[in-house]
Amino acid sequence: MDSGIGLLAATAAVRRLRPDADLVLSLDPDGMPWGPRTPEDLTRRAVAVAEAAAAHRPDALIVGCNTATVHALPALRACLEPAIPVIGTVPAIKPAAAGGGPVAIWATPATTGSAYQRGLIEDHADGVRVTEVPCHGLAEAVEHADETAIIAAVAAAAALTPDDVTTVVLGCTHYELVAERIRAAVQRPGLPPLVLHGSAGAVAAQALRRIGEQPAPGADAEGTLTVLLSGRAGTLPEPALTYAEGRLLEAVTPAG
C-alpha cells in the first residue's frame, strides 16, 4: 500500500522473490500526495487504503511508503495485526552507515530534518558523517513520470550532496525507481563507485519471513495482480509503466 506508485519497488522485489505470489496493490489516487497532510489525516487515509487491501485477505501488508510508516504504522498494526502482519518501510541508514561513509540521505523535504530521521541517524550512524538532502519535487516528478521534472529535481539534490559522499540512502520509495539516474548524478570522478541503499529488497524479504515463506525465484507458477485505486478495482497507473518495476508487474496475470 501507498498513496501512489512508490510501492512499485517493494512489490517488484516480492515478485522477483516469489513469482507465484498473488499481489494486491492498494493505492490512494483520491488522496495523494500524503506528505503534506497532517499526521491524523494521513493516518485516516492510510487505514482506509489498508482496509481495502485487507478485504482481499492477504498474508501480509507492506507499507510501501516512508511517510506512512512514520505516522500511521501503529494505527495500521492496531487495526490489522495479529491476523495480518504489517511491515513498514524504514530508510536504510543502518546498513549505509556500516560502510563508513560519508553518507547522504536523500528524502522528501518533510522528512529531511524531522525528529524521526534525526533519531535514526543518532541510533545507527554514530561517528559517520551524514548529510540530509531535501529532494524538492522529486517524488512528485517520479509519480507522474515527468522526465523534465525528474532531471531537474535530481540535479538540484545532487548539487546539495557533498562531493566526497560515497553512499546515498534513498529515503523515499519513489527514488528507487530512478536509482541509476541518482547514481549518475552523484558519482564523482576519482571516487569509488557510489553505493545506493534502498529499502525494497529488505522489506520484501522481511515480509516473507513474517509469513514463514522462503524465496522461490525459480518458481514456475505465476501469481495474479489486483490493483485497488482508493478502494476501487482498477489497473496500474499509466506512469507506472515507464519504469522497469511497473513493466515487470504488468506482466503478472490480472486476478479474475
Q: Which domain holds residue 13?
A: 5-89+201-254
pLDDT given for residue 154 in this prediction? 98
**Co-location of 219 and 171 in the same domain:** no
Q: 200-238: per-residue pLDDT in tens?
A: 999 999 999 999 988 877 767 789 999 999 999 999 999
| Active-site residue, 135 included | no
Q: 88-131: per-residue pLDDT in tens?
A: 998 999 999 998 879 999 998 888 888 889 999 999 998 899 99
**Co-location of 151 and 174 in the same domain:** yes
**Co-location of 180 and 220 in the same domain:** no
Query: Is the pLDDT confidence value at 256 over 60?
Result: no
**Co-location of 100 and 157 in the same domain:** yes
CA distance 219 to 224: 14
Q: 25-81: per-residue pLDDT in tens?
A: 999 999 988 888 888 999 999 999 999 999 999 999 999 998 899 889 999 999 999
Q: What is the mean pLDDT of residues 143-150?
A: 97
**DSSP character string of 161-220:** S-TT--EEEE-SGGGGGGHHHHHHHH--TTSPPPEEE-SHHHHHHHHHHHTT----TT--
Catalytic residue (choose from 53, 172, 236, 252): 172
Catalytic residue (choose from 24, 53, 65, 158): 65
pTM of the predicted protein model: 0.91
Domain boundary among 198, 214, 243: 198
| Active-site residue, 172 included | yes
- If one counts the domains in the chain, the total is 2
pLDDT given for residue 67 in this prediction? 86
Place of cell 500524503: 34
**Co-location of 16 and 43 in the same domain:** yes
pLDDT given for residue 131 in this prediction? 97
Q: What is the CATH number of the domain that holds 32?
A: 3.40.50.1860
At residue 253 the predicted structure's pLDDT band, cuts being 50, 70 and 90, is low
**Co-location of 207 and 176 in the same domain:** no
At residue 255 the predicted structure's pLDDT band, cuts being 50, 70 and 90, is low
Higher pLDDT among residues 165 and 220, named by residue = 165
